[in-house]
Structures are given as C-alpha cells and as structure tokens.
Amino acid sequence: MSKNFADLCYACRVGDTDNVDRLISTGVNLNAVDQFDNSPLFLASLCGHETVVKLLLSRGAVCDRDRYEGARCIYGALTDSIRDILLRYDISKAVDVNQPFTMHISSLIKDDFFLDTCDLSWSFHDNIRAIECLQLHKFILASRCAQLNLGLMSNWTGRHNFELPKGCSMKEMKILVKFIYLLPVLHEIDYEQYSSLIALSREWGMELLAEFLNKAQHILDPSEKSMFMATFQYKFMELAREQLCTFVNDAILKSSIILNSHEELDQGQNIILKECLAFPDVLLMVKNLKDEQRVFPCHLAILSRAHYFKLMFTLPFLERTLYKSQKKSKDSGNSSPLPLISLPSCDFEVAVIIIRYLYYDSSEIPWYNAIDVLLMADMLMEDRLKSMAAVVLTQSKELLKCCSIFDILSVAWETRMERLEHFVAKVIAQKIRKYSNDPALKEAILQSSKRISARQETDTIELVDDIRFYLLEKYAFELEDIEVLSSEQDLGLLKSSGILEYQQDMSVIENILDALSLQA
C-alpha cells in the first residue's frame, strides 16, 4: 500500500476534505482497498463524513450495491443521509471521472470561451462541401498522441486546417477526439464500431484504448461492463496526466528561456519560443529574487484554469487585445509575436509548481515552497491550490524550525485560510507557556481583536477562541467537564485529572488579555 493511499484512507476516516482532495490529485486509485479490505469510500461512509463521501463519488469512487464492497458501504454508513446518497448513486456516473483536471481538459472543446484558443481544425466533407468542422488544440493532440505529434512536427508544420479523407468515418473520429479530450465516451461506442476503432487507435498509437476496446467487446453483462469502464476510465485519466507531465517537462520547461535582469525578450527569441515543441499561444514571464527572468511557452487554454488569467483574457485588458491580434495574424497566414504576460516576482521553482498544477493537477508542493505557492495561488484566485499548499504547511515537521508560527498566522490572515489559522492556534495551545513570553503572541491577539468589524464591549477574539478550543483538546476535556472538575476538593484527583495544568494554561491567556485591556 502506497503512502499516499494510506494517507487518503486516514483522511477519509477523520473527514479531512481538503487533504482528501489533495491526495486524490496524486493519482491514487480510489477503488483500491487497504490491508483490512476497506476502501476510502467505505471508511468515509462508516465514519459519517458526508462531504468526503460526496467528493469521493464525484471523483470516480464506485459504489455498486450488487457487489460486496458497495453493499458494505451502504449498510455500514453511519447516517441515513449518507446511505441515501449511496443508494441514489448510479454506478454509470463513475464512468465520468470528475477530476478538476479532467473536467478542464474536456471543457476545451465544450466551452465556447476556448474556441479562440484553438489552432487546428479538422473538416469532414461530403462530395460538395464541408459538413462539420472540429476545432482542436495542437498541444493537446501532440501531448496525447505520439503519431499526431510526429505529424504536427513534420508534414503538418505550420498548417492549421485539414480536410480529412472522405473514407474517414466522422462518427469514429469524433469518438477518438472525445477520448483525447477526456470526455466520457466509452458508453457511446456501438458494437459494430469496435473493430474499426481498435484498428484506428492502434494506428494512432493509443494502445490503452485498443486494449479496452478489445476486452470490452466480449463483455455482455451491463453491471460488469460499467465496472470495467470505470476501471479503465481511471487508467485513461492517469495516462493523460503522465502524458501532460512529459509534455510539460520536454516541451515547456526545456524550451523556456532565461534572461538577465534588465534584458528584454527580442523578436528572435519570441520566434524561437513560438516555433518550439510546445505549440504555444502565449508566453509567461517570471522574475525571481535575483532579478533574473524566465520565459515559459504556455497556452491560454490551460492558464485559464486560474481565475486571474481567465479574467485577464475576458475583460478588455491589453493582454486580451494582443492575444486577439496574434490570433488574427496567425489565421491570415502572417506571423506576429506571442503576447507576453507576467507573474509577480517569485522563485522559478514556485512558477514551475504553478505550471505543473495547471497543466496536469500536480499536488507535489515541497514544504519550503508552500508559503510562496499559497501566496501565489491567492493572487491567481485558485482556491483549490491554496488548500493544497495549506495542507502541506500543516503537515510539515520542518516548517517551524525555520519559520515563526506568527509569520504563518500573518500568511493565513492575508490569504484567508481558516485551516492554517486553526493550525497556528493548535501549535500555540500545545506550547502556550513557551509562547507566553513571546511579545509576538500579544501582538497577534491584539491584531486578531482588530479584525472584528464591529466590536462590542465584550466580544470573542477568534485567535483566543481557537486557542481555548485546542487547550480543551490538549487535555481531552469537554466544556461540561471543567465546572465539575474545578469544584473537586481532592488534590490528588485534581492533579491526576490534569485540571490544574489546564487552569494554569488558561490563566496565561487571561493574563495576556488583562495586560492588553481586552475582554473576550
């Protein structure tokens, strides 16, 4: 059992939704089982975490009531609400793997917004005219299909429009295109199409699709076929992530250009990037703290996963005007420079993490980059990446050796990450007497009090409330225990219960509030 899968099982048991989402993005098999034959879905159902159950189902977890594992989930569900969700869930939905990465790639040929980002068209003709035209992206075809990549780099160089041979089946070609763009298409294939699709997928080098088709044509039972589709849909998604990872490494990162501090990208360098293996339509520039600049050949279709970039190219900003101009020039057969957009200053490693996340949903964030990634994700308005970075910070054993807990609190407030605020409060509660001598704790409590928009004479202070909560957790007390134990007269029982230590820790907070003339 891999560490990521073990961590996923634990996150499902405790109901850590953000961590479940992050771990799903590492590519773990949601329908695998641990050493006790428990699937993540079973653990989440058994422990009563409805939000996690919904997330797992939406990401492709299978609950087939006709099979042992599905029946276990339903009958083991802690609440009627979870049981109803599982009973309503149709196994066919698991064929449509709703990973955010998968959904975005699929949207590139479903969403009208991305029509402007297409740079290749395939036309189907009858004897007189074109009867249908597919608008596609060279970089998707190049990354997903080795044979198409060879064509784009050789015979098709510089071309943007193709007429497919008249003998070519439009329906079967559209199925292959849907497969390339990760649309759920397996259930659309008719029995009589299997043979020709197997031959075509092998001709294009799509061996995994050929393997599925070769086996699926012999499965007659609908339930068994649905399970088989779900298994292969997961494999298809992981293959696509691997292919886009290779594409990022070989076509984007290796093609990037590093410039000196005040050097500008000249026309020759722009052309080199424009004609590189990535088939880019936009350039992303990043300046690091050493004042060096790195330019990455990228794609608006992918950068638009971040709301910041989507707004940039939707609203009438200069970048949108330049992009439209370049697109119009390309369509007319002329050549114009690629538009250049910039990220705020950061280490190149942080920019690469952002690119990897946008292209193939990579959640690999080293702890020493996590704060910078969190800040950058906040600027890009990419909440999911923010959550992933926050999870990494809360799980790092090295973080507090080189970073003040109060600096982390400032970042949490700046980025509005409640998970990180709770992490800080828990760390402070665990070592409250150590932090009581640090002036930064008083300043943090004061700052927290100022964050209340309309303060009453007596009000709660969020940081103080959180510390008090984690002090209760530290000593395993419930609120109703405190009054009972505090009235106890037996000194031995007071010491053994931990109530005296709890009261001493609480007095630290009270003393700070008194010193700051705050009531909370």
The C-alpha atoms of residue 377 and residue 356 are separated, in whole angstroms, by: 13
Q: What is the pLDDT of residue 93?
A: 42
Where the chain has pLDDT below 70, the residues are 1, 64-70, 89-99, 125-131, 165-168, 223, 317-319, 325-335, 453-459, 481, 483-497, 520
Residues 6+ apart with CB under 8 A from 128: none
Tokens of 417: 């990450």
Residues 6+ apart with CB under 8 A from 44: 12, 13, 15, 20, 52, 53, 56
* Class (C level, CATH) for 3-89: mainly alpha
192, HSE (Cβ side, Cα atoms, 13 Å): 2
Residues 6+ apart with CB under 8 A from 309: 300, 303, 341, 380
The C-alpha atoms of residue 326 and residue 280 are separated, in whole angstroms, by: 12
Q: What does the DSSP 8-state code read for residue 249?
A: I
Parallel/antiparallel/unpaired status of strands 282-287 and 340-342: parallel
Rounded percentage of the chain residues whose pLDDT exceeds 90:
39
Contact 308, 379 (CB under 8 A): yes
Contact 79, 50 (CB under 8 A): yes
**Could you report how far apart the first and last alpha carbons of the chain are, in Å?**
48
CA angle 309, 318, 349 (to 5 degrees): 40
Contact 89, 64 (CB under 8 A): no
- The CATH T-level fold of domain 255-384 is Potassium Channel Kv1.1; Chain A (3.30.710)
Contact 294, 350 (CB under 8 A): no
* Class (C level, CATH) for 103-235: alpha beta
Tokens of 185: 């298409």
**Adjacency order of strands within the sheet including 257-259:** 257-259, 293-298, 282-287, 340-342
Closest CA to 389 of 380, 398, 378, 397: 378
Q: What is the pLDDT of residue 370?
A: 95
Domain boundaries, the chain: 3-89, 103-235, 255-384, 404-515
Q: What is the pLDDT of residue 415?
A: 95
Q: What is the pLDDT of residue 484?
A: 65
Q: What is the pLDDT of residue 493?
A: 61
Query: Rounded to two decimals, what is the model's pTM?
Result: 0.81
Q: Which residues of 211-242 are buried (b: 16+ CB within 10 A; e: fewer)?
A: ebbeebeeeeeeeebbbbbbbbbbebbbbbbe
Q: What is the pLDDT of residue 219?
A: 84
Quick check: do 3-89 and 103-235 share a fold? no
Q: What are phi and psi of 290, to 5 degrees?
A: -85, 5
